[in-house]
């Protein structure tokens, strides 16, 4: 399963080469051209397979980012432990006692933290000070650690992919579903035939500022742009009597954004997406929050502006060492993206 391979691969922002090496052979049978730009974006072109419709789209860009959140080594202490910094948005509380892999050699380690026995009653009520933690690889000195890792090495969480339930929601757990799930959807979308040039862009450095999408969008200058994402799912029970609508719910289909903190989506493109889902009998839901940004935030500002939207797969525990998705939602996201691209052949209302 491609999603499993992508989830278990290691590619923190700025270090996405391993993800490109998986994606390129997966898409090569379906594309006419590809290139890798200076920021590491994998830009793939599937030329129009049918005659263009008068007034229809000419260039459609669909993006999914390859990078994941993680850490980077900033120093090696005299005792062999490793200092680190976060890459991307990570809640400090999720880091404590987690297993990790360091550098190209995938050196195993643990983010160490004081045991509960040594924390006073008052300390338990305080937020953990992550600056006091280190990555412990079992080295006994700076010299021995330096033989295995070096400053600047990336650190990923050590999380395996696993299907948890074959029936019902068909859940799977793994790491980096934000946005390897979008990458896997995009690979499937590339297998369709469309009456326009489809640019599938697997972008870099989304988690640190939508950087890859910005330069790729400028180069392609598309008519329409769609970002594919793994997004927040907070559908588990809330506090007693809390009346809070979830951002998304697992198993309710792909999520369609009308806005987030980086973009106000094109209303006619959003309408086309939702009407297409209804016409095709594809379950879908709105993403009911404006928090967070996506590649659409960079793409819609390219040159004179690009009409953009976002389609997401809900992910529980996003931006954490392990997340969960519904494979039903994944399958329906593939169906929706292919159907939307087909409907875009006739163009989009002004």
2-68+175-346: CATH topology: Aminopeptidase (3.40.630)
* CA 147-150-153 angle, 5° bins: 130
Confidence of residue 244 (pLDDT cuts 50, 70, 90): confident
pLDDT for residue 262 is more than 90: yes
User: Tokens 């009409």, residue?
Assistant: 307
What is the predicted pLDDT for the residue at 132? 84
Mean per-residue pLDDT, 298-304: 96
Both tokens of residue 310?
A: 């976002």
Burial of 184 (0-12, 13-18, 19+ CB in 10 A): buried
Express each pLDDT in 163-199 by its tens digit.
997 778 899 999 999 999 999 999 999 999 999 999 9
DSSP per-residue string spanning 310-331: EEEEEEETTTSS-EEEEHHHHH
What is the predicted pLDDT for the residue at 193? 96
Confidence of residue 309 (pLDDT cuts 50, 70, 90): very high
Q: What percent of the chain has pLDDT over 90?
A: 83
Confidence of residue 245 (pLDDT cuts 50, 70, 90): confident
Active-site annotation holder among 206, 207, 280, 345:
206
pLDDT for residue 52 is more than 90: no
CA dihedral 104, 109, 111, 112 (to 10 degrees): -150
Structurally, at CATH architecture level, domain 70-157 sits in Beta Barrel (2.40)
The mean-pLDDT minimum among 156-160, 166-170, 264-268 falls in 166-170
Task: State yes or no: is 280 an active-site residue.
Answer: no
Confidence of residue 122 (pLDDT cuts 50, 70, 90): low
What are the boundaries of each domain within the chain? 2-68+175-346, 70-157
């Amino acid at each position: 399963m491609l999603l499993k391979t992508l989830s278990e691969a290691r590619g923190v922002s700025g270090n996405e080469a391993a993800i490109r090496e998986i994606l390129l052979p997966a898409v090569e049978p379906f594309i006419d051209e590809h290139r890798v730009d200076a920021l590491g974006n994998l830009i793939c072109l599937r030329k129009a397979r049918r005659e263009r419709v008068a007034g229809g789209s000419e260039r459609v860009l669909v993006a999914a980012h390859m990078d994941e959140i993680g850490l980077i080594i900033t120093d090696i202490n005299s005792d062999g432990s490793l200092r680190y910094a976060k890459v991307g948005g990570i809640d400090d509380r999720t880091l404590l006692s987690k297993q990790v892999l360091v550098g190209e050699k995938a050196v195993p380690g643990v983010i160490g933290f004081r045991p509960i026995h040594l924390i006073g009653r008052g300390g338990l009520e305080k937020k953990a000070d992550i600056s006091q933690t280190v990555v412990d690889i079992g080295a006994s000195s700076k010299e021995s650690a330096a033989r295995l890792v070096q400053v600047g090495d990336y650190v990923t969480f050590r999380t395996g992919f696993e299907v948890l339930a074959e029936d019902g929601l068909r859940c799977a757990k793994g790491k980096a579903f934000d946005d390897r799930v979008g990458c896997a959807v995009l690979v499937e979308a590339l297998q369709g035939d469309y009456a326009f040039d489809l640019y599938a862009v697997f972008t870099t450095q989304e988690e640190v500022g939508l950087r890859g999408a910005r330069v790729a969008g400028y180069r392609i200058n598309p008519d329409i742009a769609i970002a594919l994402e793994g997004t927040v799912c907070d559908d588990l029970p809330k506090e007693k009597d809390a009346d809070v609508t979830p951002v998304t719910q697992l198993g309710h289909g792909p999520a369609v954004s009308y806005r987030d903190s980086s973009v106000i989506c094109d209303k006619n493109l959003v309408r086309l997406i939702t009407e297409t889902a209804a016409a095709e009998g594809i379950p879908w839901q709105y993403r009911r929050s404006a928090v967070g940004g996506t590649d659409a935030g960079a793409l819609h500002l390219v040159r004179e502006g690009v009409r953009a939207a976002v389609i997401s797969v809900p992910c529980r525990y996003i931006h954490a060492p392990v997340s969960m998705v519904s494979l039903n939602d994944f399958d329906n996201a593939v169906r929706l993206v292919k159907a939307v691209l087909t409907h875009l052949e006739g163009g989009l209302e002004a």
